[in-house]
Amino acid sequence: MSLFTKIITGEIPSYKVAENTDFIAFLDINPNAKGHTLVVPKKEENKIFDLSKEAYTSLMEFSYQVAKAIEKTLPCKRVGMSVIGLEVPHVHVHLVPLNSMADIQFVQKVSLSKEEFIDLAEAISKNF
């Protein structure tokens, strides 16, 4: 069982911003930028291109909706998207509010308090 499956089942807490029957989106707890969000299929699959074409398309549609909510919530030049998948063997899309190229390079990180995570998750969720 992956770390993300444990989040989906509620075994591990998260700062959820959106959810439907097939996908969940929650704030990354080690974010590149404030608002860095992970979009994850509820069905555990290791590689994005092992998803069915329909599941892949649905993941991108859900990610689009989450990105639009992030844009409404946080001032940024754009929301970047990255799919790497090496750190957790469960498909996930990184949505990162971008103001510079450094925001998407997975080198710099920002720190947020628990209260900031809670407030941010609620704000993005309201814009979803």
Catalytic residues: 92
E strand or H helix at 41: strand 37-41
Surface-to-core class of residue 61, CB atoms within 10 Å of its CB (0-12 exposed, 13-18 middle, 19+ buried): exposed
Surface-to-core class of residue 126, CB atoms within 10 Å of its CB (0-12 exposed, 13-18 middle, 19+ buried): exposed
